[in-house]
Homo-oligomer: A and B are copies of this chain.
Amino acid sequence: MVWMHKSLIRLGLVGVGKIAQDQHIPAIRGNPRFELVATASPHGSIEGIPAHADLAAMLAAPGGDAIDAVCLCTPPGVRAGLARMAIAAGRHVMLEKPPAASLSQVEALSRAARTAQISLMATWHSRETAAADAARAWLTGRQIAAVRIVWREDIRQWHPGQDWLLAAGGFGVFDPAINAFSLLTHILDGTLEVVAADLAVPANRVAPMEAKVTMLHDGQAPVTCDLSIAHPGTPQWDITIDTDAGTLRLSEGGHRLSIDDQPQTTDADGEYARLYARFAAMIDGGASEVDHRPLMLVADAMMVGHTRALPPFEF
């Protein structure tokens, strides 16, 4: 028997905002394969970890040449340029979702990663929720009759003051709704195609705050999506799928599963712990994972969509 030594992965974290603080830091600290050795952010920092203004400064600083991998938690608009820089420097890269602001950027990054022989991981954290794999397993082999997505939350609660979300390339309602699309493409086999969309954009903003999107599954089953970030009160993050053998509901963003209204047992929580475990395995195996389908559904909705105006929005 051969014991392989799995080396420590020295990680630099770029972007130290809410998602980094809430999710990435605990996951990195909870995984012995990773050591957080530096951060880069114009604003935030982590106590006890060397902090730099940006990725270039982080890589150029003393100890920067020892960084094996970077995780990019910045807003999506700047992510592709940073990823390209990290790949060119030979670092493995984990990307928060969505992996970039455009599909052509994702394709260019995939190609750059293959050329540089580094591991590129485009994460979709909702696929790691407790019930996602159980939903996928139950649906396999069943005939899909209809899908209804309701994904409604309050931007003031989840993205307080984050103007970038409503600017060009900020995704608006599709920033949370892409989580639903990442779940849907994970749990369903077959094709999903966007056929129509209605997009509601505040008069003083660029990105939609509400959207209705219509898709077809395998060219026939209707998929309707009711999406909003102008929904005060309790958020609703549900995917309901009617099949030839009952109705599946994935609720609370993928954390709860029921079949015909009967709650099902699921895995334990631990989205980001699973993401970091997968990233380590990818680096060990020389693999990459870049699934562009959730972003494609967003781009398609924007391309085929009919836009209408909402009253001006201020946080």
Contacts and interface: CB of A to CB of B under 8 A. Distances in A.
A23 interface: no
Count the copies.
2
A172 to B, nearest CB: 11
A160 B111 CA distance: 42
Contact of A196 (B84, B168, B196): B168
Contacts of A56: none
Interface in A191-225: 191-197, 201, 206, 215-216, 218-219
Contacts of A121: none
A193 B300 contact: no
A303 B102 CA distance: 7
A206 B307 contact: yes
Interface in A61-109: 80, 84, 101-105, 107-108
A: interface residue count bin: 35 or more
Contacts of A300: 102-105, 299
Nearest to A220: B84
A304 interface: yes
A306 interface: yes
A195 B296 contact: no
A137 to B, nearest CB: 22
Nearest to A111: B191
Nearest to A102: B300
A193 B107 contact: yes
B303 A194 contact: no
Nearest to A167: B306
B191 A108 contact: yes
A302 interface: yes
Given A206-B306, A304-B168, A304-B169, A105 B193 contact: yes
A293 B104 CA distance: 8
9 contacts: A101-B303, A101-B304, A103-B300, A104-B297, A105-B194, A107-B191, A167-B306, A296-B299, A299-B302
Given A80-B195, A102-B303, A107-B296, 14 more contacts: A101-B195, A101-B304, A102-B195, A103-B299, A103-B303, A104-B191, A104-B194, A112-B191, A168-B305, A299-B300, A299-B302, A299-B303, A302-B302, A303-B303
